[in-house]
Amino acid sequence: MRRAGFEIYFCVIFRIITPYNPLKYRRLVWVSAFVGFVNENRMTTATSNNTGGNSSILGSSASDNMTDMFKSELDTVEQFHRTLNRPSLTQEELLNEYRALGLRYENLLKQAATLTRIGDVAQRKLINTKSQLAAQSEVINRANGELQEKNERLKESIEEINQLNMVLGNEQAKADALLLNILPPDIAARLKEGEDKIADYFEDATVVFTDIVGFTNLASLVSATTIVKLLNTLFSRFDALLDHHPVEKIKTIGDSYMVAAGIPTPRKDHALQAASFAFAMHNELRRFVAETGYPISMRIGIHSGPVVAGIIGTRKFVYDLWGDTVNIASRMESHGQPGKIHCSETVYEKLSDIYKFERRGAIDIKGKGKMDTYFLIGDIA
């Protein structure tokens, strides 16, 4: 009661010696009463701790925190109590003390108001920052979701592209195989690189023509389908021989089969390779006749010389040969005899030390006049 009386007395004196300000007066009373309440709470807490009880309204930790927060106010109140308890002070000294304490309280109240405003601003900024962070977090989560969806779609697209690439690779392989079945590999590669006009000159190559003898008579005895199957079987066997002889198949015309050696890759032994392939075709035909019983035979003509090889046109193109050498080789075939290999003198000169020849003599070749020709018999014994 005494402490409360002192505080009321102090407030009255402070009201007398300072200009009237209701707000300042109420805040001063509140601070004084609150600080007194804190001190009582601390004393109660100490008593409870000594007796083992727990009668404090505020916990010990909360009380200490408040003490720290209002340390300046507590120091002021303690100074106020020490001043009231000093009996030796005169009235003027006591008034001066009250004035000093009042000024100090006024400063403390100003600081408290400033801190309150700062706290309010900080709290508003904190609330705004939390709102902004929540909005940014929502945007990031939404962006992550969209990114995951795009990643899934990208994976699906990559899988589709890989499948399409596989299909395209298979189709490209089929197209390449078909192209190589029509053209020599070197010529096919040049076409794929964009070269559209191919006409290569070869100074020396050997051309071979064949013709099935008895085919016309056979065609009148059996159906057209049977004739086609017969030619397909026989020419397929000739095609298989290409895997073992370095010659190039040029084309088939009806029952004629044409090959060349020394093109598109030049080689010095082109005449030897052409003659070897001619013997292989004769042997294959004998086996075919023995198996089927068809009464057919074959004429073969060979000539060596310069040729031009290449591709002309833009549709259904084939690798073909041009030049007088091709014409003479064709004449060797047409002026030959069934079951024999008819050669020009040029071929004889190239292979006479390797193969045995039979001289036929000079014959009249259409468009060329008289020419000495030979029949290729076989290896020299």
Please answer whether residues 247 and 261 qualify as being in contact, where contact means their C-beta atoms are separated by less than 8 angstroms: yes
Question: Which residue from 104, 91, 117, 93 is spatially nearest to 35, judged by alpha carbons?
Answer: 104
Which tokens sit at 179? 């192209």
pLDDT value of position 113 = 80
For 133-141, what is the mean pLDDT? 89
pLDDT value of position 239 = 95
The CATH class that applies to domain 195-379 reads alpha beta
- Return the biggest CA–CA distance within the chain: 167
Distance CA 211, CA 331 (A): 12
Angle (CA) 183 185 190, round 5°: 90
Picking from 41-45, 98-102, 171-175, 274-278, which range would have the lowest pLDDT averaged per residue?
A: 41-45
Q: Dihedral of CA 43/47/52/56: which sign? A: negative
What is the residue whose two structure tokens read 């090889």? 309
> What is the distance, to the nearest Å, from the Cα of residue 215 to the centroid of all Cα atoms in its chain?
59
What confidence tens digit (pLDDT) does each residue in 321-345 have? 999 999 999 999 999 999 999 999 9
Distance CA 63, CA 85 (A): 26
What confidence tens digit (pLDDT) does each residue in 51-62 have? 444 444 444 444
pLDDT value of position 66 = 47
pLDDT value of position 293 = 87
Report, in angstroms and rounded to the nearest whole number, the Rg of the chain calculated over CA atoms.
Answer: 60
pLDDT at 38 over 50: no
Which tokens sit at 3? 């402490």
What confidence tens digit (pLDDT) does each residue in 214-247 have? 887 887 888 888 888 999 999 999 999 999 999 9
pLDDT value of position 87 = 61
What confidence tens digit (pLDDT) does each residue in 71-89 have? 655 566 566 666 656 666 6
pLDDT value of position 280 = 96
User: What are the φ and ψ backbone dihedral angles of 83, each rounded to 5 degrees?
Assistant: -65, -45
pLDDT value of position 320 = 93
Beta partners for 251?
258
pLDDT at 312 over 80: yes
User: What are the φ and ψ backbone dihedral angles of 69, each rounded to 5 degrees?
Assistant: -65, -35
Q: What does pLDDT average to over the chain?
A: 80
Question: Which residue from 281, 274, 381, 265 is spatially nearest to 339, judged by alpha carbons?
Answer: 281
Task: Report the interhelical angle of 22-51 vs 2-17 (nearest 10°).
Answer: 160
Locate the domains of the chain by residue range: 2-131, 195-379
* C-alpha dist (Å) from residue 127 to 135, 136, 138: 12, 14, 17
